[in-house]
Structure 1
Amino acid sequence: MSYNIALVDDHRVVLESFANLLSTSAHFQVVGMATDKRSLLQVLEQSHAEGHAVDVLVTDLLMPTLTGTDVILTVKAQYPNVAVLVLSGSDDPALIQQAMQAGASGYVTKTADKSELFDAILAVAVGRRYIDSRVFPLSRPVTNPVVDNPLSEREAQVASLILEELSSAQIAERLFISFNTVETHRKRIYQKLGITTALGLLKYSLKKGKATY
């Protein structure tokens, strides 16, 4: 399945480079690029009118002429079905929280590799939330720690599928993420739980009285 993508950044060269990167995947079709809010709204209006409505908007957060949160609020007010993914150079917890509260579905830093970036776009395109693994701990409310489950939301998803005896390739297909990303999550799950195998995960889950995470 292919998703229509719109891009926002104040640097044209960044937009063109990003569009070229997305063109390497059959899952994405860039239908418009914008450097300000006015041109973005034109892109959204035109794409909807021409029958290829934008599925995902990827926007920078810190730009000289507008802010990412303003973009998010405006887009979600007029096009609530458009998922917004923030691609930013900042890992400031306050900015991340502002973006998510404004209506963003995901947040990825510009240090993310191609695989994680593609995973993030696919995740928000199908209605899931996605936070860059490098900043996830920063964006979690410190007043509401998950003591009983040390795994992140995505790690918990992967753990549940491991318990269903799915292979890493099958998990990747189910969650629309790459094989390497699944293997990275598997490694982190095992490290956090102090186990080394899927059997160890099963024993841990039975001990905790959980069939899934």
Structure 2
Amino acid sequence: MSQNLRIVLIEDDDIIRMGYQSLLTDVPEFSVINAYGSYDLAKKQLEADQPDVILLDIQMPGTSGLQALPFIKKALPNAHIIILTVFDSPELVFEALTMGAGGYLTKNSSAAKIIDAVREVSTGGGAMSTNVARIVMHSFQKNLDSPLTKRETEILERIANGLTKSQIANDLFIDQETVRSHVKNIYIKLDVNSKSDAIKTAKERRFI
């Protein structure tokens, strides 16, 4: 019989953290070793915890989950990290996966999905929410000759999904003036004068 999987939670929301802790503790082959409100609180103890799997939030006080990833991977190269967050922008997904995350789930994932994801990454697999998997698949289907930069593409995709400039700014952690500047560049590159024309042209040419 194999030893229980050692799990550490790093999540700043007390209620969500306790919910995950309760959920995972109920699984016979899991042992929740520790639960922290931030990476800054966890970092001194993580190596002693020796977790097999870490569930890591992105937006936390102090060091963010993405900023913490390389430090965790360096200190615990054999630990498997699952990002568990409300954010599912393509930029964040690819940055997390590139930096060594073994999985990326959004917080609306079911309890069963979270449990399965822990098992999956512990055996070297990759675990993603359906919407995150769709983002990854969609990226491979795009026209690679797009004149739009990665950031311009992200902004236009959000415009196409009905987000306002304010919502886009919040989603991408940039200010509204930066969003306006990117939109202006998008219009110039696509030779259009309106939001609807930009969306139509980009979709026809598979830029988004």
Counterpart residue type for residue 6 of structure 1:
V
- Secondary structure at 2:131's aligned position in 1? coil
Counterpart CA distance in 2 for 1:64 and 1:37 is 9
Measured in 2, the distance between the counterparts of 1:84 and 1:94 equals 18
State the percentage of identical aligned residues.
24
Q: Distance in 2 between matches of 1:115 and 1:37?
A: 25
- Structure-to-structure mapping, 1:1-213, within 5 angstroms: 1=2, 2-47=4-49, 53-140=50-137, 142-143=139-140
Larger radius of gyration: 2
Taking structure 1 as reference, are residues 38 and 61 closer, same or farther at Cα in structure 2, changes over 3 Å only? closer
Q: Which consecutive residues of structure 2, in runs of 5 or more, have no partner in the other structure?
A: 143-208
Kindly provide the amino acid, as one letter, of the partner of residue 60 in structure 1: D
- Give the TM-score normalised by structure 2: 0.63
Ranges of 4+ aligned residues in structure 1 off by more than 6 Å: none
Q: Secondary structure at the match of 2:58?
A: coil
Aligned residues: 140
Change (3 A) 1:46 1:136: same
| Distance change (3 Å), C-alpha of 1:139 and 1:38 | same
Q: Is the 8 A contact 1:34 1:43 kept in 2?
A: no
Q: Which has the larger displacement, 1-10 or 36-45?
A: 36-45
Shift of 1:68: 1.2
Task: Name structure 1 gaps, 5 residues minimum.
Answer: 48-52, 146-213
Aligned CA RMSD, in angstroms, stands at 1.7
Q: Following the alignment from structure 2 to structure 1, what is the Cα–Cα distance between the partners of residues 18 and 100?
A: 26
Residue of structure 2 equivalent to 1:172: none
Q: Could you report, residue by residue, the CA deviation over 1:155-208 in whole angstroms, capped at 9, with x for unpaired residues?
A: xxxxxxxxxxxxxxxxxxxxxxxxxxxxxxxxxxxxxxxxxxxxxxxxxxxxxx
